[in-house]
Amino acid sequence: MEKFKRNERVAGLIKILSDNPNNLFSLNYFSELFTAAKSTISEDIAAAKKIVEQISLGQIETISGAAGGVKYRPYVENGDAIGFLDELCEKLRDPKRIIPGNYIYMSDVIYDPRVSAKVGEIFATHFMNSGVEYVVTIETKGITLANMTARALNVPLVILRRENRVTEGSTVSINYVSGSTKRIQTMFVSKRAIPEGKKVLIIDDFMKAGGTAKGILDLMKEIKAEVCGIGVLMKTIEPKEKMVQDYISLLEVGEVDEHKGLINIYKDMLFS
Amino acid sequence: MEKFKRNERVAGLIKILSDNPNNLFSLNYFSELFTAAKSTISEDIAAAKKIVEQISLGQIETISGAAGGVKYRPYVENGDAIGFLDELCEKLRDPKRIIPGNYIYMSDVIYDPRVSAKVGEIFATHFMNSGVEYVVTIETKGITLANMTARALNVPLVILRRENRVTEGSTVSINYVSGSTKRIQTMFVSKRAIPEGKKVLIIDDFMKAGGTAKGILDLMKEIKAEVCGIGVLMKTIEPKEKMVQDYISLLEVGEVDEHKGLINIYKDMLFS
């Protein structure tokens, strides 16, 4: 007698797969967990696939062969991303967010786990086929977004430091010029963090002139990592010419004016 | 005719609930999503509850009444936590991790999304009934753990800064003495981050003398937040007397000796 009913197995399967995005599970794993025949599990997977796709909650992919199995890929459809980003803009447009100096207070938003999880899935969807092996960010404000992107892609996260810390062991550093403030700054990566030749995706919260992103690119070159993408939550419209090409941003911000109580923030082209 | 079969509805329900931990959904929400009667959805929920609990993947809770609904709570059973922490110790005991000065390199481990997600669920399980309204950490190394704890509890995350940043707006700061280095340091919290009277849970990666945790406690008192718990991934055995009481740690570390290639690290009492 089988221990679980079909609906129970399908539900359990979906729970385990979606808790472990981009993690390959063998059919054997589920066959043992549910004490069911592999042919039964195959049918369960087909049912799981159907429901996940029908209610637009990602994709279940089966890989055949000896090293095969089944995995779940978070997949945010364009319409879903647009709705989410519209809401985000709405929230960020609140004039109470303006900080003297015409900055926008947005820590509460980017640290909100529901926001960072969704942003992470949007980045993961975009860079799904880029062969990302590591997600890289620099402390501090991009960490929650990078963390959730790494989770969705099931790859390790690396956090670059702005100061040399004893707990990082031996480090490689570069000096770079912040594009907006023109000040010389330093960033550090642990020599243990990324082996040579690995493909990395750079994630950050904000890009103005792109000096920080350029710094990370240069540091990655130093340690012989290959950058396969750059994603930022928000870029400024000015300056138009950034110090890096080939990046995506989800939002763009134009004029911020404390006096007029104005924050011009929109979805970027990718989702317009 | 109903659009989805029972197994499809149950699976979809579990997917949505577990993607949004501690988020209350009304029966109406699922009734509309699946175009099914509320009585049918009630039966689906009962089936979902059974499977989730039977394979130890958390808890589905129903709340009755007008403001009621259904939610998913991550719940890590003790045996599961123990197995995970044993594996973590095993990984961290590798003598190659010893950094000159007898520190342990562990960034790769605490930034691994699979590790931080599990640690977050363990903390969420422990503090489930503490009424946590905010999770608070201080940059940088505890952020991934705090982020995942906040996600599991479905509450906002607040990151304290070690320097005053323009993007935080007006801040409140305190000076504190690091328990181990005896140096005076400063930490900052945005005045917008936590309203008065809220219950906060402090999460960090590491506790030696407890000076940082004590600093956070003091800063929370300044902004009239109520600390309802402190959780750290790892504490040192020495000094035995920490500067804070009432904390939990998952692991404890004793002697680290580069010469002997020795890292003494174990599960802490809570999971022994």
Give dist(CA B202, CA B221) in Å, integer: 13
Summarised one tens digit per residue, pLDDT across range B5-56 is 888 899 899 999 999 999 999 999 999 999 999 999 999 999 899 889 888 8
User: CA-based Rg of chain A, rounded to a whole angstrom?
Assistant: 21
Angle at A172 between CA A168 and CA A178, to 5 degrees: 105
Handedness of CA B23, B29, B33, B37 (dihedral sign): positive
Residue partners of B237: CB distance under 8 A and separation at least 6: B252, B253, B254
Residue B2: the pLDDT is 59
| Chain B closest-CA separation from residue A144 CA (Å) | 7
B8–A51 C-beta distance less than 8 A: yes
Strand partners, A62: A70
**pLDDT > 90: what percent of chain B?**
86
Q: Torsion angle, CA of A120/A123/A126/A129, rounded to 10 degrees?
A: -80
Closest CA to A207 of A171, A164, A236, A241: A236
Q: Residue B40: which residues within 8 A CB-CB, separation 6 or more?
A: B2, B9
Q: What is the DSSP letter of B240?
A: S
Residues 210-269 of B with CB under 8 A from A: none
* Both tokens assigned to A140: 């501090």
Q: Which stretches of chain A score pLDDT less than 50?
A: 1
* Nearest neighbour of B48 by CB, restricted to A11, A112, A161: A11
Give yes or no for a contact between A60 and A46, defined as CB atoms under 8 angstroms apart. Answer: no
The answer to whether the CB atoms of B7 and A4 lie below 8 A apart is no
Chain A residues touching residue B104 (CB < 8 angstroms): 167
pLDDT digits (tens, 9 = 90+) for B46-92: 989 988 988 888 999 999 888 889 999 999 999 999 999 999 999 99
Tokens encoding B29: 């929400």
Instruction: Inspect the interface and report whether the beta carbons of A166 and B101 lie closer than 8 Å.
Output: yes
Residue B31 burial class via C-beta count within 10 angstroms: exposed 0-12, middle 13-18, buried 19 and up: middle
Name which of A166, A167, A203 to mutate to probe chain B: the one with the most chain B Cβ atoms within 10 A of its Cβ: A167
Please count the residue pairs, one from chain A and one from chain B, whose beta carbons lie less than 8 angstroms apart.
Answer: 186
- Chain A: nearest CA to B235, how far in angstroms? 15
pLDDT of amino acid A2? 59
Return contacts of B221-224, CB within 8 angstroms, 24+ apart: B222/B172, B222/B174, B223/B172, B223/B189, B223/B191, B223/B194, B223/B196, B224/B196, B224/B197
* Contact (CB<8Å) B167/A55: no
Cβ distance B143 to A144 less than 8 Å, yes or no, reads yes
Query: What is the amino acid identity at position A40?
Result: T
Q: Is B91 touching A (CB cutoff 8 A)?
A: no
User: Which of B 115-174 lie inside 8 A of A, CB atoms?
Assistant: 116-117, 139-141, 143-144, 147-148, 150-151, 154-159, 161, 166-169
Residue-level pLDDT at A272: 80
Tokens of B61: 């809770």
Q: Is A52 on the interface with B (CB under 8 A)?
A: yes
Kind of pairing between the strands at B157-160 and A199-207 = unpaired
pLDDT tens digits, B175-229: 998 877 788 999 999 999 999 999 999 999 999 999 999 999 999 999 999 999 9
For each of the domains in chain B, give its residue range(s) and CATH number, in order of start: 6-73 (1.10.10.10), 78-271 (3.40.50.2020)
The shortest C-alpha distance from B268 to chain A (Å) reads: 22
> What's the start-to-end Cα distance of chain B, in Å?
54
Give the integer Cα–Cα distance in Å for B259 and B64: 61
Q: What is the pLDDT of residues B217-253, one digit of tens each?
A: 999 999 999 999 999 999 999 999 999 999 999 999 9
- Which residues from A are below 8 Å from B52, CB to CB? 11-12, 15
Assess contact for B230 and B202: CB atoms under 8 A: yes
